Chains A and B, each alone.
Chain A
């Protein structure tokens, strides 16, 4: 930098000029050199023998332009410089065409790999039926990780996690064969639908790609997804450990637009080694809300969303209103979600007047009409204490088999329930 700074004096530059894009000049010292700088790109050209890019003459020009802009007069660029800039533009265009071509090629390769992976899964699924599901109870963990690993290698990145969750169901519950056959059937439908994706509408194609394993990239979603502006009420948050990538934890944050009544799911994955490290923006918590735009990832049942800007949460001024009169209403929404995408895994609702109840060690939530749905997990002690056997408005997540209470609408504030 020092030689450049010494050279950055108008006295050395009898000829110098600039326009919106370029800087140019002639530097007179022991020898005379001609120097061009393209500020887009950026690019440099100098008649000096230095191999450094940028050389000290180019640096000197830029220093002068930055520090004493008046020292370099605006002028139309000389002909040869303009020609050079045009050549550079042309080259750059070619480059981006080449990039695009490479991306298309990579995408085609990925699709081929994924299709191979799904073909292997198809055979594996068929084997399960031919050999009988009952035999799964005797299979070691490695049996599952083997097929999961093959899918991972084939870039079918979403299914290994799903398969390991299936493994957990085997033998866990008297009705496990039913649940397992349902899940395997849905997997078969997914494989089938992916093969036929070109005949399906665009949102469903996006859905299928996500379900199979194309990640939803925040940048892409923000650029092209459906944006919704609202005051987003945070109604539930829970954490879940991933089975396939050990140590990875997912945080599900459910928010609902105060005006639009749209539900959105904010997902964050954090690895155990990163947990509690500084530098992670805090997630808004139940009972808070934030004003802003959420952008929904394209899907047949758009649910996952990304905030346009980092949320700035503040406590909610008004308690969120229930949007499901009873459990029947929640299930009606579930049916709509499944009609849009049969692979929907979970929905959320703020259901009015639910009471926890126990029967022979199993826990239920009962609505005012006397309908009930089962609860997942450990006894809901905090909820039970809060309710005292009286109905409470609850934010619940429904996964098709059981409810998870996420927050309760208290008299004064929204209370987060068990976080797991």
Chain B
């Protein structure tokens, strides 16, 4: 048989042959040897094909573990498939939360689509829903390994990727490891630390943000003496996030001397003399040697002179509560004492309050910056930055309250701030906030319109559609405008209604 193949491969005039008896008469009647070879090959092919037997099976692998949850309904499957394909991440998050609440799983055929999601937000939502079947599948496809990251039992897989991946994969593996076992992650990093180059050290060190705790402090203190300047900076930045670290201690004792409160006399005498509290700012005299080790940069920034900039950096590392305790004044009271020209102090405090999340300080700081909107002495970009940034860090209740107060009279000039505040709020919104937003929107739509270019709600309407609480979904449906003035917004409003409708269907279809 393979003689035929050899002859055909190499060419030449085929030699005399012993033909298959069945086709011998046919083959024998043809003079050309090539043709005879082909006819024999054809006959053999028929025989071989017809006689094809199954192959032995490859070694069996264990099947997936049972998932005790029931799959969601067919209608829900269709909706979920649509969400996964269109990448509507916020709705996907809501659908996943509904699945968790109903103790249901994705139908198995949807798993490849779910596991193919690359967006971290999508993966975060899906992690809570995907079960043993998805983990079993991930073993067959390296692109799906992300689903394995959150389970302790997968630590060996992560360590393997940590040991063998390129820098980016190693960072991912280390972050994943820190999520489940911070101490093991730190140990892994320590083990290879001395062999990495500066750039890699910095990249890997960033992974310690995940699961950061005082246990990391000794290592980070060592990193403060690293050869690489950017590694040192990063180590200092990480230590600043640990309010009980030695670095924060050092910074606190440095900063303490630079703010001094002259308290007003108490009681009648104080009132009579008109004396009031005063906060004195004493700028650092010179750049001391140990500043650099703790990550304080020397040249000025933000248009500030070096000395003011050093102060900003010192204050930024000290939890603001230190000052309210030390001076026995509320944050509001202290902020009243800072004139616009000394905005560097508030800059430092704002940095500290946002990095260390001190909720008591955020709103007072925001009000202080808001009061400076027209002040000449404060650079406009700083005001803008902090008005957005502080809102973003507000705890939900305060943020909602602030948003509601902004919604009482929404101004176009504040539309983007309002939008970024609303965007950052956890979803769903409270019923109160949802009602406030809808009321403001309806009021705006009711206004007999001068042809305004932009409406305040255009920047937040898509967030609202995804964030309104379920209880409001029915009444939130908007009548679509017909008058010419509002035509321009028609498509946005249609989309708003569609999103609400999709959410309503999700809630209806995914229930226990």
Contacts and interface: CB of A to CB of B under 8 A. Distances in A.
Interface string A159-203: 000000000000000000110011111111100100000000000
B12 A130 contact: yes
A338 B50 contact: yes
B218 to A, nearest CB: 46
Interface in A389-404: 389-390, 400
Contacts of A374: 55
B284 interface: no
A131 to B, nearest CB: 5
Nearest to A408: B109
A372 B108 contact: no
Given A133-B8, A384-B140, A388-B64, A188 B58 contact: no
B34 A126 contact: yes
Contacts of B54: 327-328, 331, 367, 371-373
A373 B44 CA distance: 21
A156 interface: no
Interface string A379-420: 101101110111000000000100000000000110100000
Contacts of A177: 5, 8-9
Contacts of B140: 358, 379, 384
A319 interface: no
Contacts of A43: none
A357 interface: yes
B5 A184 contact: no
A129 B42 contact: no
Nearest to B38: A188
A278 B13 CA distance: 57
A331 B8 contact: no
Nearest to B64: A388
Interface string B31-61: 0101101111111111011111111111111
B291 interface: no
A406 to B, nearest CB: 14
Given A188-B35, A364-B57, A389-B63, A335 B109 contact: no
A358 B50 contact: no
Interface in B124-142: 133, 136-137, 140-141
Contact of A415 (B8, B39, B109): B109
A75 interface: no
A357 B57 contact: yes
A181 B137 contact: no
Interface string A340-359: 00100000000000000111
B460 to A, nearest CB: 37
Given A177-B9, A379-B140, A381-B141, A126 B57 contact: no
A334 interface: yes
B51 A390 contact: no
A370 interface: yes
A367 B109 CA distance: 21
A122 interface: yes
B108 A126 contact: no
A372 B109 contact: no
Contact of A188 (B11, B13, B42): B42
Contact of A132 (B4, B10, B56): B10
Binding site secondary structure of chain B: helix
Contacts of B74: 412-413
Q: Which of A126, A182, A382, A388 has the most CB of B within 10 A?
A: A388
A335 B11 contact: no
Given A188-B42, A342-B46, A132 B133 contact: no
A182 B5 CA distance: 9
Interface in B180-198: none
B305 interface: no
B331 interface: no
A359 B59 contact: yes
B112 interface: yes
A181 B5 contact: yes
A302 B350 CA distance: 81
A343 B254 CA distance: 90
Contact of B11 (A125, A129, A389): A129
B14 interface: yes
B40 A185 contact: yes
A370 B60 CA distance: 9
A132 B9 contact: yes
B111 interface: yes
B270 to A, nearest CB: 76
B153 to A, nearest CB: 18
Interface string A309-337: 00000000000000000011001001100
B5 A132 contact: no
B8 A364 contact: no
A384 B112 CA distance: 9
A135 interface: yes
A129 B39 CA distance: 11
Nearest to A129: B34
A400 B43 contact: no
A31 B56 CA distance: 96
B145 to A, nearest CB: 15
A72 to B, nearest CB: 59
A412 B57 CA distance: 29
Given A328-B54, A338-B49, A379-B141, A357 B109 contact: no
A132 B12 CA distance: 7
Contact of B41 (A132, A184, A334, A379): A184
A178 B51 CA distance: 16
A129 B37 contact: yes
Contacts of B64: 388-390
A135 B11 contact: yes
A385 B112 contact: yes
Contacts of A415: 109
B392 to A, nearest CB: 39
A379 B26 CA distance: 44
Given A185-B38, A357-B58, A359-B59, A134 B10 contact: yes
A382 B141 CA distance: 13
Contact of A192 (B12, B26, B56): B26
A366 interface: yes
A339 interface: yes
Given A129-B14, A132-B12, A389-B136, A178 B55 contact: no
Interface in A134-168: 134-135
Contacts of B120: none
Nearest to B62: A389
Contacts of A359: 58-59
Given A328-B54, A338-B46, A385-B112, A126 B8 contact: no
Given A385-B108, A388-B136, 19 more contacts: A129-B7, A130-B13, A131-B11, A182-B45, A183-B45, A184-B41, A184-B42, A185-B44, A189-B42, A189-B46, A339-B50, A359-B58, A359-B59, A371-B54, A385-B110, A385-B137, A388-B63, A389-B63, A413-B74
13 contacts: A129-B37, A129-B38, A132-B10, A181-B4, A181-B41, A339-B50, A373-B54, A384-B137, A384-B140, A385-B133, A388-B136, A389-B64, A415-B109
- Give the top 10 A-B pairs by smallest Cβ distance, nearest first: A132-B11, A389-B63, A185-B42, A185-B41, A371-B54, A359-B58, A182-B45, A188-B38, A388-B64, A189-B42
